[in-house]
């Protein structure tokens, strides 16, 4: 049974860099994309980006200039960095496993999710 | 900000049926597979439906999905109090090269 365990700083000041890590336990790390999704208080889900075991990434265009997702295959972990945070980045951040087949018709779904990390940006 | 549009809320009595619509465009729903997620209060989202209409192991057949053109629909029959949650559709957007989610729908059991 695959499980995702995530951690990182929960309180940041404006202009700081958000840093979260997600560890994958109990399953294969290759063959999937590993994603980050966030949810502001009382709002819906927003996809941040993803990475596969080879380091290939895709990012949300609206966040791309501030986001870096990296992978450490030796530890089965992947990480998120979001720079220059503001109050608008306050949210619960989730990591998730994505099954993806890109093509003329793309299959994409997230079948395993972490429990979420609450990140608050406040001066 | 969401590319996919869902009704804010739907409700029905226990045992009844509800449907949730998800409207998009040719760059997302129209040409890619749709998934649905259930988010119970205070918890992480959970995959309910993938590839438009398939259920992961452990998801009861009370939940169903369908797609037609640029819209998708989630159906829940035999509504239970435990179904009270927020539901989101999601898919890949080929124009944005990004995952997009619906605006979310809150299901209330009366």
Tell how far CA B13 is from the center of its chain: 19
Provide, rounded to the nearest whole percent, the portion of chain B with pLDDT above 90.
97
Return the pLDDT at B3. 87
Say which DSSP state B82 is in: G
Q: Could you give the count of Cα atoms lying within 13 Å of B96 in the half-sphere of its Cβ?
A: 26
Q: What pLDDT does residue A103 have?
A: 87
Please tell me if residue A107 touches chain B, with a CB cutoff of 8 Å.
yes
Chain B touched by A57 (CB under 8 Å): no
Partners of residue A96 on adjacent β-strands: A35, A113
Distance from CA of B31 to the nearest CA of A (A): 6
pLDDT tier at B2, thresholds 50, 70, 90: confident
Task: Give a three-class secondary structure readout of A66-97.
Answer: CEEEEEECCCCEEEEEECCCCHHHCEEEEEEE
Q: Find the residue in B nearest to A59 (Cα).
A: B98
- Asked if B99 has any chain A CB less than 8 Å from its own CB, the reply is yes
What integer pLDDT is reported at residue A25 of this predicted model? 96
Average of per-residue pLDDT across B76-83:
97
- pLDDT at B18 exceeding the cut of 90: yes
pLDDT at B1 (0 to 100): 59
**Quick check: B82 and B64 in contact, CB under 8 A?**
no
* Least Cα separation, residue B57 to chain A (angstroms): 11
The stretch B86-96 carries a mean pLDDT of 96
* Mean pLDDT, residues B20-45 taken together: 97
Query: Running along chain A, 123 residues long, what does each successive block of 10 average in pLDDT?
Result: 96 98 94 97 97 95 97 96 98 97 91 98 96
Distance from CA of A109 to the nearest CA of B (A): 6
> What mean pLDDT comes out for the span B13-33?
97
Instruction: Read off the tokens for A77.
Output: 């972990």
Secondary structure letter of residue A88 according to DSSP: G
Q: Are B19 and A94 in contact (CB under 8 A)?
A: no
Q: Which of A59, A106, A113 sits opposite B92 (nearest CB)?
A: A106
């Amino acid at each position: 049974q695959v499980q995702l365990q995530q951690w990182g700083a929960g309180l940041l000041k404006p202009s700081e860099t958000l840093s979260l890590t997600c560890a994958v336990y109990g399953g294969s790390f290759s063959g999937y994309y590993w994603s980050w999704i966030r949810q502001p208080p009382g709002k819906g889900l927003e996809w941040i980006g993803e990475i596969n075991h080879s380091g290939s990434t895709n990012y949300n265009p609206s966040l791309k200039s501030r986001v870096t997702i990296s992978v450490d295959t030796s530890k089965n972990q992947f990480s998120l960095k979001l720079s220059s945070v503001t109050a608008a980045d306050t949210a619960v951040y989730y990591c998730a496993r994505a099954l993806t087949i890109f093509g003329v018709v793309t299959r994409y779904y997230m079948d395993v999710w972490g429990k979420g990390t609450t990140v608050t940006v406040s001066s | 900000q969401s590319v996919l549009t869902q009704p804010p809320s739907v409700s029905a009595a226990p045992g009844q049926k509800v449907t949730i619509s998800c409207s998009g465009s040719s760059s997302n729903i129209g040409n890619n597979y749709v998934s649905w997620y259930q988010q119970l209060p205070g918890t992480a989202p959970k995959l309910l439906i993938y590839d438009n209409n398939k259920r992961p192991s452990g998801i009861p057949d009370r939940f169903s999905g369908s797609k037609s053109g640029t819209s998708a629909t989630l159906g829940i029959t035999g509504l239970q109090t435990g179904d009270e949650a927020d539901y989101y559709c999601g898919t890949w957007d080929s124009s944005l090269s990004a995952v997009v989610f619906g605006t979310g729908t809150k299901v209330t059991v009366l």
